[in-house]
Amino acid sequence: MDTTTRPIIGEADRRRHQRHTLSFKRELVALTLVPGASVARLAREHGVNANQVFTWRKLYREGRLGAVQSSAVRLLPVDIALTTVAEGTPPRVDRRGQPGGGGVRIECARGHLIIEGRPDPQMLRVVLEHLLR
């Protein structure tokens, strides 16, 4: 029986670990967060294993891959306060004569916002975008 002491995988066959900068990792993760983006395709195009990109995405979400994007979704604390309407008080109506649905109060570092009735959804979206930046 012939035995050999030569290693099956030679030193030339082994791939060296590639080091990527934080900026490269963040840019690649940002590309994968675009709706409809394929992690596998982007990883292949950039010469990185898709599993590595998924690991970077996890680190990114945990805030361990540098600064998290400011446009990331954040959950805000919510307190629900029950209020009662005094007997004999007419129901609230908005400018279109529709019955009001209640009120909303938003408090954050940049200010307070109190909304009563049913505001225009587009106007409310714009106000909230600017208030929560």
The label of the residue with tokens 């998290």 reads 68
In this prediction, residue 126 carries a pLDDT of: 75
Q: How many residues does the chain have?
A: 133
- pLDDT of 81: 64
Kindly tell me if the per-residue pLDDT of 64 is higher than 80: yes
Q: Answer with the residue of higher pLDDT: 95 or 115.
A: 115
Residue 6 tokens read as 């030569």
**Coil, strand or helix at 99:** strand
Report whether pLDDT(90) > 70.
no
- What are the Cα distances from residue 35, in Å, to 38, 68, 72, 105? 9, 17, 13, 32
Interval 41-46 mean pLDDT: 95
pLDDT value at residue 115: 75
Which DSSP symbol is given to 62?
T
Quote the pLDDT of residue 44: 95
Q: Phi-psi category of 128—alpha, beta or left, where left has phi over 0 and alpha has psi -120 to 50?
A: alpha
DSSP conformation class of 36? T
Give the pLDDT band of residue 62 (cuts 50, 70, 90): confident
Looking up tokens 């060296």 gives 16
